[in-house]
Structure 1
Amino acid sequence: MAIELLKLYFHKAFHSMQSNCIVIPVYNNVSTINAVVNDALKTGATVVVVDDGSEPDVVLEIESNKLYLLKHAANAGKGKAILTGAQKAKALGF
């Protein structure tokens, strides 16, 4: 009985969890970013990419309603890029 209740609890908890959000900071990695984003989207997560002042600008060749691209005008560092992505994730409800 206790095991069945535990299974039921975990089943409900698993299915009521909010989906995931992946934040990807990028700086001058335009050659690999599309493959990384594509793999991240395959997980079913929402993906927030933060272009931290790359030259040339990051251009994503993928369209998805779960994909957001944010851009810093100039390089502000990895920490700031992660913070920008986390703020966007929070605004999206994560």
Structure 2
Amino acid sequence: MEKFQVTEKYEGIKAERVFEAGKLTFSDLGMKIIKDRSFAFLLQGSFSVGENLINANFIVSAFQNEINLTLTSETADKEVLSDFAKRFMETLKSRLVEL
């Protein structure tokens, strides 16, 4: 199983706003939300890239001002996961500007 993780700091933005931008990003990228734990700022989802099924965990830490995206897949390689993580973070940042 391949795993790819991205952690980034955010500042000057409330965790609730980052979490809402994450939900919009899931939707924008065609990701299916499997679990939405708003009280914990956690989203779990899955999506397909070609024939590859990818699972995603998105967590916003209000205490550490961090965003964490973890992608795992049985079929996708690290490059596919890395490319998608980059696209996810770019979309998230553009959503944060819009909110």
Greater strand share, structure number: 2
TM-score (norm 2): 0.29
Larger radius of gyration: 1
Select the structure with the greater relative contact order (CA < 8 A; seq sep ≥ 6).
2
